[in-house]
Amino acid sequence: MSSSTKPVVKFRKNYKPSPYLIKNTELIFQLFEDHVLVSASLNIESNPKSAESVNLPPMELDGVALELLEISIDDKELSDSDYQLKQDLLIIQPTTAQFNLQTLCKIYPQKNTSLEGLYTSGGKFCTQCEAEGFRKITYYLDRPEIMSAFSVRIEGDQQKYPLLLSNGNPASRGDLTDGRHFVEWHDPFPKPCYLFALVAGDLDCLEDEFTTMNGRKVKLELFVDKGKLDQCQFAMDSLKASMRWDEEKFGREYDLDLYMVVAVSDFNMGAMENKGLNIFNTKYVLANEKTATDADFEGVERVIAHEYFHNWTGNRVTCRDWFQLSLKEGLTVFRDQKFSEDMQSKPVQRIDQVKIIRSAQFAEDSGPMAHPIRPDSYIEMNNFYTVTVYNKGAEVINMMHTLLGEAGFRKGMDLYFERHDGQAVTCEDFVRAMEEANDVDWTQFRNWYSQAGTPLVNVKLTQLGAGQFHLDCEQSCPPTPEQQSKSPFMIPIKTGFLDAAGNSLKFKVEQGDWTDEALLILTENKQSFKIECDAEQIIPSLLRDFSAPIKLAYEYSLTQLATQFASDPNSFNRWDAGQNLMSRLLLSNSPTLSATDKEIVEQAFSAILHDEQLDNALKALAVQLPSLNSLIGQSDKVDLDQLFNKSNQLKQHLAKSLEPVWFSIYNTLAGDNAGARWLRNVALSYLLIASEAQYFELAANQITHATNMTDELAALQVIAKSKNGFESEYVEQFYQKWQNEDLVLDKWFSAQVLNEQDNVIDYIRSSLLEHEKFSIGNPNKVHSVISTFSANNLVQFHHASGAGYALLADLVIQLNQINPQIAGRLATQFNQWKKLDSNRQTLIKSQLSKIISIDALSNDVFEVVDKSLK
């Protein structure tokens, strides 16, 4: 570590209320071509809730990379001895319990490549303040519990920046001298500074209106780069659908007269819920049939909804401190998931959600960065915007929903809003509202907030007598870096039983009523449930709909799994049985697959593909192998070469043995809806596996004549993956056609990095990273090339030469200074290394050691790599 400050670990247990509050915040931004002047006037009061021993302790304001030009208190300029400037802090000594602090700072947004604070993207100014970016704008108490009423004045060149936007409602506007103008904004809702936003530029706008449940009219404005208006309608429709849904499902109405969304190309994450002025990655706004795939449309709908839902879960009720992040993120992801389930197919959505948990979240939980959904410590908060906090956090809320039922959950939400509207609160406050509204005791349930790691539940079924069974469950949770031993979790296991032919059976649990589905609630380390069921042989259908974020082990026979795959009435478990079946074969110790193994899967697939009741999207999901990531994510140790080998064998076998079926699907299915397009494109990819020579024409034809991006991209993907992918004229034509459509180019980059031939790494280095359209400063580009390669081309990323690891490490090092947040994120791609063979472990370890020894290592990268090396 050679950066100027030693990384400091912050602990949840050390939380103390701020000794000062900021009641009002007035900001003036003067925008210039190579800098910005920010003047701040803060009405400060000592905090009655703070238990400081001294009456008026020194006040420490956060500030990073600010040039302080002026400072005064109550209009009296301070002399040098009245304040101290330390690394990232301004310290003053208040003499009264209420005062006004004024500062003037100079900042350089045009040079800000971290994309945090105020920066520029494509000629416009924009901001990203969550988590701790506001301190790069002005000196402030940059913590979420400080809620302040903001008034903002922006001044800038009239021609370059006709639009000057901030949160709330516009209050006044006018002209200044030198071709400049100003706009003033006032936000009536006190808010933490992480929700502050500013945008200045020249943009096109799609306008609309929404009438709330109480008849109030809200103006909706969606701002995009000039010329992109034809890619906005879907996002606008999604916004209106989300607003309606939140009224209908949760009784939540929008509260301002104006809701603005701005799309920018350079953005670290998906989007940001700034009050009244969301800022989005263009990826989650721009979409029409020509440029966006069916999956992209779903992404837009989901993220638009997510940010909108934050207005209540995040903005009206916010987090007391950043350890509580899951309070808003887990809950808001849960809400966007329920919304998507209502808008799209419910089982398909559920399967997508679970795939993320099993690949990325299980991996995180079993790696060096494992943390509870409410972390106990962090060095760099940006490293904790994780699948654990977000997606496992949503699973924890989902368990509450399952335990309480729809009505009970709603009661809890209502009480939560009633108690905490306008406050900055904790996860504990949320759990308590749920508990008290429903009169339940969730002492044990809280372990989901405090313990990291993925619980494993082993289940055994024993027959006692005719129609009498015992279901024995045993839970355990492996140690994680900061927690050696775990207490048992409360685990809801939604369960049914099938007979040997796959029919649903009626059964009784303990003294309960006859039913065909029950929620078993596991609370002990070992627990046994008495089951009564009038059948000779029963197949348990466990953890339906993935009712808890756990691994469940039950010794099914392969035939039982095939039966479940063919006919479990629970669509999710039906899919899951197929995944389970294939995982068992792929992860077994045997170096190859037997002929019988391959046939079992083949027959199961064939049955699924011929099932006339099943919809196409579910078929498409069912006939895809479990991803290598989820297989690795679920294992403690993995023999990669054997795994790659067997999964290729299985794909080859399925491609060849079912060739006529794939061919007939491809030729007869009309690709006129998303599910059909999906299945048809899965068939295409199997056909090219069966014989590239024979079926290449299909792909070539498809890419030439496609009328939508879903089909065009699917064809590009198989072509770019093929033997001559790097020289293909079709890949070149795609580029020519789309070279001015940035988001489509991202897909073009990604398609190429998935080629599994040995020269792919050279090709990435010499052609893609050097390409005129590639930009290291643009996170979408870095993701399309580097993250896609290391997360999805595992065969080459893990190449025994170590070339894939070297590529990733080089990019981490290059980005360390440019954009530490993205660099930190990339570095997590090494986190599974301890599961691998010793040769690969050595190779990765040497890359990690190389990274940790560079100069000026950012906190972001340090935290990830240091933990990985421990």
Q: Please list every residue from 659 through 678 that binds Zn ion, using CB under 5 A.
A: none
Q: Min. distance of Cβ 192 from ligand ARG in angstroms?
A: 12
Q: Please list every residue from 795 through 834 that binds Zn ion, using CB under 5 A.
A: none
- The answer for residues whose C-beta is within 8 angstroms of residue 743's C-beta and 6 or more apart is 282, 283, 286, 291, 292, 780
Binding-residue pattern over the window 305 to 344 for Zn ion, x denoting contact by CB under 5 A: ------------------------x--x------------
Could you say which of 62, 142, 294, 329 contacts ligand ARG (CB under 6 A)? 329
Residue for token pair 């809806």: 673
> Which of 279/550 has CB closer to ligand ARG?
279
**Residue facing ligand ARG at closest CB distance:** 385
Contact 194, 144 (CB under 8 A): yes
863 binds ligand ARG (CB under 6 A): no
Q: Min. distance of Cβ 116 from ligand ARG in angstroms?
A: 7
Could you say which of 26, 62, 88, 130 contacts ligand ARG (CB under 6 A)? 130
Partner from Zn ion, ligand ARG, none binding residue 548, C-beta < 5-8 Å depending on class = none
742 binds ligand ARG (CB under 6 A): no
User: What values do phi and psi take at 801, rounded to 5?
Assistant: -75, -20
Binding-residue pattern over the window 696 to 735 for ligand ARG, x denoting contact by CB under 6 A: ----------------------------------------
Contact 566, 573 (CB under 8 A): no
Q: Cα separation of 564 and 556, whole Å?
A: 10
> Which of 274/438 has CB closer to Zn ion?
274
End-to-end CA gap in the chain: 15
Q: What residues are paired with 86 via a beta bridge? A: 89
Neighbours of 614 (CB within 10 A): 15
Could you say which of 145, 187, 225, 273 contacts ligand ARG (CB under 6 A)? 273
Residue for token pair 């207490």: 487
Q: Cα separation of 311 and 851, whole Å?
A: 40
Contact 397, 331 (CB under 8 A): yes
Partner from ligand ARG, Zn ion, none binding residue 131, C-beta < 5-8 Å depending on class = ligand ARG
> Which of 42/197 has CB closer to ligand ARG?
197
285 binds ligand ARG (CB under 6 A): no
- Written as six digits, the tokens of 314 are 């995040």
Q: Chain centroid to CA 134: how far?
A: 22
Q: Min. distance of Cβ 386 from ligand ARG in angstroms?
A: 10
819 binds ligand ARG (CB under 6 A): no
Q: Min. distance of Cβ 254 from ligand ARG in angstroms?
A: 17
Q: Min. distance of Cβ 177 from ligand ARG in angstroms?
A: 38
Could you say which of 21, 272, 305, 425 contacts ligand ARG (CB under 6 A)? 272
Q: Min. distance of Cβ 810 from ligand ARG in angstroms?
A: 24
- Written as six digits, the tokens of 425 are 């609160």
307 catalytic per annotation: yes
Q: Min. distance of Cβ 508 from ligand ARG in angstroms?
A: 44
State whether residue 651 is helix, strand or coil.
helix
Q: Cα separation of 353 and 350, whole Å?
A: 5
Could you say which of 307, 336, 365, 435 contacts ligand ARG (CB under 6 A)? 307
Contact 24, 189 (CB under 8 A): no
Could you say which of 101, 131, 791, 807 contacts ligand ARG (CB under 6 A)? 131
Could you say which of 99, 134, 385, 734 contacts ligand ARG (CB under 6 A)? 385
> Which of 182/250 has CB closer to ligand ARG?
250
Q: What angle is formed at CA 810 by the lines to CA 805 and CA 816, rounded to 5 degrees?
A: 125
- Written as six digits, the tokens of 718 are 């198989």
Neighbours of 182 (CB within 10 A): 18
Which span sits near ligand ARG by CB under 6 A: 269-277, 425-433, 563-571, 775-783? 269-277
State whether residue 801 is helix, strand or coil.
coil
Could you say which of 235, 260, 269, 473 contacts ligand ARG (CB under 6 A)? 269
DSSP 8-state symbol, 221: E
114 binds ligand ARG (CB under 6 A): no
Q: Chain centroid to CA 26: how far?
A: 33
> Which of 311/332 has CB closer to Zn ion?
332
Partner from ligand ARG, Zn ion, none binding residue 568, C-beta < 5-8 Å depending on class = none
State whether residue 319 is helix, strand or coil.
strand
| Closest C-alpha to 665, from 718, 623, 723 | 623
> What's the number of CA atoms in the CB half-sphere (13 Å) around residue 134?
23
Q: Cα separation of 451 and 457, whole Å?
A: 16
Contact 112, 136 (CB under 8 A): yes
Q: Cα separation of 159 and 136, whole Å?
A: 27
> Which of 267/789 has CB closer to ligand ARG?
267
Q: How far is CA 251 from CA 448, 553, 623, in A?
A: 28, 40, 40
300 binds ligand ARG (CB under 6 A): no
Q: What residues are paired with 83 via a beta bridge? A: 92
> Which of 335/680 has CB closer to Zn ion?
335
Q: What residues are paired with 128 via a beta bridge? A: 117
> Which of 329/597 has CB closer to ligand ARG?
329
Q: How many residues bind ligand ARG (CB under 6 A)?
A: 11
Q: Min. distance of Cβ 719 from ligand ARG in angstroms?
A: 35
322 binds ligand ARG (CB under 6 A): no
> Which of 114/438 has CB closer to ligand ARG?
114
Which span sits near ligand ARG by CB under 6 A: 203-211, 270-278, 566-574, 752-760? 270-278
> Which of 327/348 has CB closer to Zn ion?
327
473 binds ligand ARG (CB under 6 A): no
> Which of 31/269 has CB closer to ligand ARG?
269
Contact 255, 317 (CB under 8 A): no
Angle between helix 838-852 and 859-869 (nearest 10) = 150
Q: What angle is formed at CA 261 by the lines to CA 260 and CA 262, rounded to 5 degrees?
A: 120
> Which of 332/832 has CB closer to Zn ion?
332
Q: Min. distance of Cβ 673 from ligand ARG in angstroms?
A: 30
Give the CA radius of gyration of the chain: 28
- Written as six digits, the tokens of 864 are 């990830």
- Catalytic choice (301, 307, 329, 863): 307
Which span sits near ligand ARG by CB under 6 A: 53-61, 264-272, 344-352, 646-654? 264-272
Q: What angle is formed at CA 673 by the lines to CA 672 and CA 675, rounded to 5 degrees?
A: 130
Partner from ligand ARG, Zn ion, none binding residue 271, C-beta < 5-8 Å depending on class = ligand ARG
Beta pairing, strands 98-107 & 539-541: unpaired
134 binds ligand ARG (CB under 6 A): no
Residues noted as catalytic: 307
Instruction: Please give the residue ranges that form the binding site for ligand ARG (CB under 6 A).
Output: 130-131, 269, 271-273, 306-307, 329, 382, 385
Instruction: Please give the residue ranges that form the binding site for Zn ion (CB under 5 A).
Output: 329, 332
